[in-house]
Amino acid sequence: MLNDDEGKAAGIADCGGIKRLPRQPSIKDIARLARVSHPTVSRALQNSPLVNPQTAAKIRKIADETGYRASAVARGLVTRRTRTIGLVVTTVADPFASEVVCGIEETANDHGYSVFLADSNADPVREKKVVQALAERRVDGILVTSSRVGALYLPLLKEMMVPIVLVNDQHPGEFVHSVMISNQEGMRAAAEHLIGLGHRRIAYLGDQLGYQSDVERRAGYQAALDAAGIAAMPELVVRGNGKAEAAMEAMEKLLALADPPTAVCCYNDMTALGAMRQMRVRGLRVPEDLSVVGFDDLFFASYTQPPLTTVRQPMRKMGKMAMESLLALMSGAESVAQIKVDAELIVRESTAEVKAG
């Protein structure tokens, strides 16, 4: 405990036997009370072996009794670590991103990191600017979900000197470190499920922007048709933009065909939602008139009418894996460059056997 003269000299109040400053004490206050230099206080509070054990114990006792708390900024200046992570999402309203963010934040918090969240609005130019701004804020690492920039980060890595991990990279080409769902295998399983129910005219309602995930999912769809000996039917491939409104327009094109499909594989669950809505507008029933499969297994998939058969992405798990990969990179440990996560087909009530005739 400090003596009264020391307490008065420092302007410290006595509260229940513990003397504290009426403001947040600084390292200067601790140094004055301990009668040591500022660097000695810094070293002692970082458990440096360069400080005499008795002196270090005295400094830590004074810091505790005065209510001293080390500034995160000050620690960063010393350690060159801010214990912060930058996280870029396409939009905070995206239900896929929100689940990934939960997995990232849980893992980051478990390891003592705070997360700065930024929105790219699915704009490649904005995404790049946001990532550079986060790097300038001296975050220790950056995670980007559904990146529209992807491999274009490669020349920036050396310049920014900040580790980056992508989650479901949407840019064609490879990136150094990423976590990606097995898109092709997942959509192939969806199409094989429909083929197993007797469907032969199976449509693919994809994404018009040419992202990596759409390329891979269509390849999986086509691989299932090829394996079953079903000839390619170009008129059964239409494109939206991954959102329900555009999916309604694309679905109308399929329904307007002289020989419409009996089933449709949708790029994602939002697309499936729009497709099912357009069927209701036309007075058609799911799955009696047309079976529908989505991709993602978003929170609403089991609550649609009927509940949606879809390909599940373990979104929280992917966020956790991405954060663990980033932690490994930041520590200099070995890290798998490209992590592929298995997709799982979840069969619900939006698919059924094709009607006879």
Residue 277's contacts (CB-CB under 8 Å, 6 or more residues apart) are: 244, 248
Q: Are residues 238 and 267 in the same domain?
A: yes
**Selection from 229, 205, 193, 213 nearest residue 345 by Cα:** 193
* CATH number of the domain encompassing residue 135: 3.40.50.2300
113 domain-assigned: yes
Measure Cα distances from 45 to 3, 76, 78, 199 in Å.
Answer: 22, 14, 12, 69
* pLDDT at residue number 24: 65
* pLDDT at residue number 79: 45
Rounded to whole angstroms, the maximal C-alpha distance in the chain is: 99
Q: Are residues 320 and 177 in the same domain?
A: yes
Q: Are residues 326 and 306 in the same domain?
A: no
Pairing of strands 344-346, 309-312: antiparallel
Q: Are residues 177 and 202 in the same domain?
A: no
Q: Are residues 198 and 187 in the same domain?
A: yes
Q: Are residues 202 and 308 in the same domain?
A: yes
Q: Are residues 189 and 308 in the same domain?
A: yes
357 domain-assigned: no
Q: Are residues 217 and 239 in the same domain?
A: yes
47 domain-assigned: yes
- Say how far apart CA 136 and CA 236 lie, in whole Å: 47
Q: Model confidence over 221-275: pLDDT tens digits?
A: 999 999 999 998 999 999 999 999 999 999 999 999 999 999 999 999 999 999 9
Domain span at residue 215 reads 183-313
User: Out of 19-28, 202-211, 303-312, which region has the weakest mean confidence (pLDDT)?
Assistant: 19-28
CA angle centred on 244, ends 353 and 187, rounded to 5°: 45
Is pLDDT at 7 greater than 50 in this prediction? no
Q: How many distinct structural domains can be found in the chain?
A: 3
Pairing of strands 338-341, 178-181: parallel
Q: Are residues 141 and 236 in the same domain?
A: no
* Domain limit, last residue, from 49, 70, 91: 70
Structure pTM? 0.75
Mean predicted lDDT score pLDDT of the chain: 85
* CATH number of the domain encompassing residue 39: 1.10.260.40
- Residues paired with residue 164 on neighbouring β-strands, in sequence order: 142
Q: Are residues 61 and 14 in the same domain?
A: yes
